[in-house]
Amino acid sequence: MSEESASREALAAVRSAIRPDGPEDEAAIAARARSRARRRRILVNLSRALTLLFVIGGWELFTDLKIVDPFFFGQPSAIWAQLRDWFEHGTAFGSIWLQIWVTLKEALLGFLYGVGGGIVLGILLGQNRFLADVLGPYIKVMNAIPRIVLGSIFVVWLGLGTTSKVALAAVLVFFVVFFNAFQGVREVDRNLLANARVLGASRLQVTRHVILPSALTWIIASLHVAFGFAVIGAIVGEFLGAQQGLGVVISSAQGTLNADGVFAAMLIIAVVALTAEFLIDRLERRLLAWRPPSPSEASSV
Amino acid sequence: MAVENPTRSALPLAGPTAARAGSQPGGIRLAGVTKRFLTPSGEAFTALRDVDLTVEPGQFCAVVGPTGCGKSTTLTLVSGLDRPNAGTVAVGDRRVDGISPGIGFVFQADALLPWKTVLANVALGPIFHGVPKRQARAAARDWLRRVGLAGFEDHHPHQLSGGMRKRVGLAAALINEPSVLLMDEPFGALDVQTKAIMSNELLALWEQTRPSVIFVTHDLEEAIALADRVVVMTVGPGTVKGVYDIDLPRPRGAVQEIRFEPRFLELHRQIWESLREEVERAYARTASIDGEETR
């Protein structure tokens, strides 16, 4: 320890020789870094607010002055009025909350089934070379099909209810998660596998203690994209034929050439998606808490 | 060459009661072992040829040889992670066929699960063997104390230094009380001082339970300081070139000091004589062609 303090003294001496205005202690440096970070944060937030104001304000102004036709492009104030109308008096298909709930339920169920299927099949195929070789080409072909088209078939098969939307959302989610889980299993450190086996782990124990946690990094990364796909699946499914849901609200607004209605529904979907994103982020942080902080996180005090 | 006749170790004391595989004394015997690999280009590559090697129960055996002489391959064969193309590998009285029970393996790179705490990592061995979680954790706590890491139970591996991670690795390998401990250049990635400290601790831990050890290294000084027997291997295809019994007294004491003793220097000179040829040959080979070597 004395050696360390001696070297620190030497360092301080060198520093004060370089900077004649006196030695600087660590607290001062930290305080300066903090205040610089705070100033930057304020600047960023201010700029963000200004950008938003500029875009919305410009939109409102241009449509107000009839430079841009509000009939086709909508108008922020009219979108706001539409939203208030929906929340106060409901839509043509019942309360707006019901529409949100229907779409959300379809998206969530599709998400759960898709994620579950993707993880199970991804891990199975990732570990079984033979199965992967046999099924690989077919999965690639199915992935190449524009799967939105499947929505039409699902509506024919499963009717106008929730099930067809859940199926479409699940199919969209499945492939994203599957490929990530598969790759995650393939990337597991050979050393860790060998070590677990030597320690006496059974196949199931290897999967549970080594492969699954290791692939989890990959799987969770895919969940962000996957939830977006689940919402797309639900809404496109509703577009193709349904009695309730935000997709129906949008398509009916489209049918009456109500641009404000389309934008208003879009806004609601965006809020839902952002909330989900936030929750997935929380889940990610929780499940991957063991990870060392990345260098960029560590340096930004 | 220089194959001792295997001292047939006693049978496991009482069959069913000795449930822990680790309680069985484990000599190691390789007879006429040959191992070939397929290179990515589809050619066969002989890593080991006709290897005969005996490690008596409780003996500390170091294997030295140039890079790519199949040292690591030997360990994977003994552990049962891989199988020989010819010859037999036996641990104790069992012919190795699949993962052998009662084996501890310390890898060159860290093999700790980064998402588990230090305690959970060490407890894995017993948990894999069906020991209840509570008991396994208690055992792990005890082993962490033995390797001097009490107080670090709840840390994750990335929060520890390289030397500390190696200690965790040692505890994780020893907790099953293996009768055979395989070490693949375990301290290769450590700095010189940490390496010396770890060597001393390894010897102290080994004295407690006395498993048979195969310690692979390319550091001859380390090999002589630690081992009862040093095996020199030829450059690939690897065969046993010479076996040297190290008659330095035990306990060895500090590894840093023993290397100045006259007997140590004499052994070193003698073994180096044999090893140097192989190192030079290996070097010439890598210099002329980009040799396809397995480590």
The predicted model gives B42-52 an average pLDDT of 86
With cut-offs at 50, 70 and 90, classify the pLDDT of residue A57. very high
CB contact under 8 A, B129 and A200: yes
Query: Residue A288: its pLDDT value, please?
Result: 85
- Which of B115, B129, B182 to mutate to probe the A interface, most A CBs <10 Å? B115
Indicate if A140 and A21 belong to the same structural domain. no
**SS3 at position B31:** strand
Which residues in chain B are contacts of A293 at CB distance < 8 A? none
Distance, in Å, from the CA atom of B287 to the CA atom of B295, rounded to the nearest integer, reads 16
Dihedral sign for Cα atoms in the order A268, A270, A273, A275? negative
CB A234 within 8 A of CB A169: yes
Given CB atoms, is B13 within the 8 Å cutoff of chain A?
Answer: no
Given CB atoms, is B96 within the 8 Å cutoff of chain A?
Answer: no
Which residues in chain B are contacts of A197 at CB distance < 8 A? 81, 99
Q: Is the model's pLDDT at A231 over the cut of 90? A: yes
Chain B residue nearest residue A210, CA to CA = B113
Distance, in Å, from the CA atom of B153 to the CA atom of B155, rounded to the nearest integer, reads 6
Indicate if A124 and A246 belong to the same structural domain. yes
Q: Is the model's pLDDT at A1 over the cut of 50? A: no
Query: What does pLDDT average to over chain B?
Result: 83
Given CB atoms, is B113 within the 8 Å cutoff of chain A?
Answer: yes
CB contact under 8 A, B109 and A290: no
Q: What is the ipTM of this complex?
A: 0.80
Domain extent, residue A135, equals 75-299
With cut-offs at 50, 70 and 90, classify the pLDDT of residue B150. confident
Torsion of CA A55, A58, A60, A66, to 10 degrees: -140
Indicate if A132 and A208 belong to the same structural domain. yes
Rg, C-alpha atoms of chain B: 19
Distance, in Å, from the CA atom of A79 to the CA atom of A85, rounded to the nearest integer, reads 10
Residue at A224: amino acid letter: H
The side-by-side arrangement of strands in the sheet containing B240-245 is B103-106, B180-184, B212-217, B60-64, B229-233, B240-245
Query: Residue B146: its pLDDT value, please?
Result: 87
With cut-offs at 50, 70 and 90, classify the pLDDT of residue A52. very high
Q: List, in sequence order, every residue forming a beta bridge with A94; answer none if it has no partner.
A: A91
Of the candidates A198, A213, A214, which has its C-beta nearest B103's C-beta? A198
Local structure of residue B149 (DSSP, 8 states)? -
**Intra-chain end-to-end CA distance of chain A, in Å:** 27
- And the tokens for B10? 């006693």
Q: Is the model's pLDDT at B291 over the cut of 80? A: no
Query: Residue B290: its pLDDT value, please?
Result: 52
Chain A residue nearest residue B122, CA to CA = A199
The predicted model gives B215-244 an average pLDDT of 88
The predicted model gives A290-295 an average pLDDT of 70
CB contact under 8 A, A199 and B124: yes
Residue by residue, DSSP assigns chain A as -HHHHHHHHHHHHHHHHH-TT----HHHHHHHHHHHHHHHHHHHHHHHHHHHHHHHHHHHHHHHTTSS-HHHH--HHHHHHHHHHHHHH-BTTB-HHHHHHHHHHHHHHHHHHHHHHHHHHHHHHHH-HHHHHHHHHHHHHHHHS-GGGHHHHHHHHH-SSHHHHHHHHHHHHHHHHHHHHHHHHHTS-HHHHHHHHHTT--HHHHIIIIIHHHHHHHHHHHHHHHHHHHHHHHHHHHHHS-SSSHHHHHHHHHHTT-HHHHHHHHHHHHHHHHHHHHHHHHHHHHHTTTSPPPHHHHH--
Query: What does pLDDT average to over chain A?
Result: 87
Indicate if A57 and A135 belong to the same structural domain. no
The predicted model gives A174-190 an average pLDDT of 92
Indicate if A266 and A224 belong to the same structural domain. yes
Chain A residue nearest residue B115, CA to CA = A290
Residue range B165-176, pLDDT digits in tens: 988 999 999 998
Considering A64, A86, A110, which residue would you say is the last residue of a domain? A64
Considering A64, A99, A117, which residue would you say is the last residue of a domain? A64
Which residues in chain B are contacts of A214 at CB distance < 8 A? 115
Separation in Å, CA of A286 to nearest CA in chain B: 12
Query: Residue B286: its pLDDT value, please?
Result: 75
CB B199 within 8 A of CB B164: no
Indicate if A117 and A203 belong to the same structural domain. yes
Number of domains observed in the structure of chain A: 2
Chain B residue nearest residue A288, CA to CA = B115
CB contact under 8 A, A292 and B113: no
With cut-offs at 50, 70 and 90, classify the pLDDT of residue B13. very low
- Taking alpha carbons only, the member of A248, A82, A244, A232 closest to residue A162 is A244
Q: Could you tell me if residue A142 is inside a domain?
A: yes
Chain A residue nearest residue B21, CA to CA = A200
Q: Is the model's pLDDT at B295 over the cut of 80? A: no
Indicate if A133 and A7 belong to the same structural domain. no
Domains and CATH numbers, chain B: 27-102+180-288 (3.40.50.300), 114-177 (no CATH)
What is the number of residues in chain A? Answer: 301
Residue at A290: amino acid letter: W
CB contact under 8 A, B111 and A192: yes
CATH label of the domain that carries residue A237 = 1.10.3720.10
With cut-offs at 50, 70 and 90, classify the pLDDT of residue A301. very low
Indicate if A8 and A137 belong to the same structural domain. no
Q: Could you tell me if residue A70 is inside a domain?
A: no
Distance, in Å, from the CA atom of B230 to the CA atom of B56, rounded to the nearest integer, reads 13
Query: Residue A156: its pLDDT value, please?
Result: 87
CB B106 within 8 A of CB B184: yes
- Which of A187, A188, A199 to mutate to probe the B interface, most B CBs <10 Å? A199
With cut-offs at 50, 70 and 90, classify the pLDDT of residue B288. low
Indicate if A136 and A19 belong to the same structural domain. no
**Cis omega (within 30 of 0) for bond into B40:** no
Of the candidates A201, A214, A216, which has its C-beta nearest B128's C-beta? A201
Indicate if A160 and A271 belong to the same structural domain. yes
Q: Is the model's pLDDT at B193 over the cut of 50? A: yes
Indicate if A117 and A266 belong to the same structural domain. yes
Q: Could you tell me if residue A69 is inside a domain?
A: no
Given CB atoms, is B102 within the 8 Å cutoff of chain A?
Answer: no
Query: Residue B25: its pLDDT value, please?
Result: 65
Q: Could you tell me if residue A116 is inside a domain?
A: yes
Which residues in chain A are contacts of B111 at CB distance < 8 A? 191-192, 194-195
Share of chain B above pLDDT 90, in %: 21
The predicted model gives A48-71 an average pLDDT of 90
Torsion of CA B159, A199, B110, B134, to 10 degrees: 0
The predicted model gives A188-199 an average pLDDT of 90
The predicted model gives A167-174 an average pLDDT of 94
- Taking alpha carbons only, the member of A219, A197, A218 closest to residue A207 is A197
- Give the side-chain half-sphere CA count within 13 A for B178: 29
CB contact under 8 A, A195 and B111: yes
CB contact under 8 A, A290 and B111: no
Distance, in Å, from the CA atom of A40 to the CA atom of B234, rounded to the nearest integer, reads 63
CB contact under 8 A, A194 and B129: no
The predicted model gives B107-128 an average pLDDT of 90
Separation in Å, CA of A141 to nearest CA in chain B: 28
Q: Is the model's pLDDT at A230 over the cut of 90? A: yes
Given CB atoms, is B295 within the 8 Å cutoff of chain A?
Answer: no
**SS3 at position B124:** helix
Q: List, in sequence order, every residue forming a beta bridge with B244; answer none if it has no partner.
A: B230
CB A258 within 8 A of CB A273: no
Highest mean pLDDT among A274-288, B91-105, B250-264: A274-288
User: Which stretch of DSSP H or E encloses residue B232?
Assistant: strand B229-233
CB contact under 8 A, A290 and B105: no
How many other CB atoms are there within 10 angstroms of residue B99's CB atom?
15
Q: Is the model's pLDDT at B140 over the cut of 90? A: yes
Q: Is the model's pLDDT at A138 over the cut of 80? A: yes
CB contact under 8 A, B107 and A197: no
Indicate if A31 and A154 belong to the same structural domain. no
Chain A residue nearest residue B114, CA to CA = A290
CB contact under 8 A, B111 and A200: no
Q: Could you tell me if residue A121 is inside a domain?
A: yes
- The position carrying tokens 């080594």 is A210
Of the candidates B110, B128, B159, which has its C-beta nearest A200's C-beta? B128
Query: Residue A233: its pLDDT value, please?
Result: 92
Given CB atoms, is B114 within the 8 Å cutoff of chain A?
Answer: yes
Separation in Å, CA of B276 to nearest CA in chain A: 31
Chain B residue nearest residue A212, CA to CA = B115
Share of chain A above pLDDT 70, in %: 89
Given CB atoms, is B72 within the 8 Å cutoff of chain A?
Answer: no
Chain A to chain B, count of Cβ pairs less than 8 Å apart?
Answer: 58
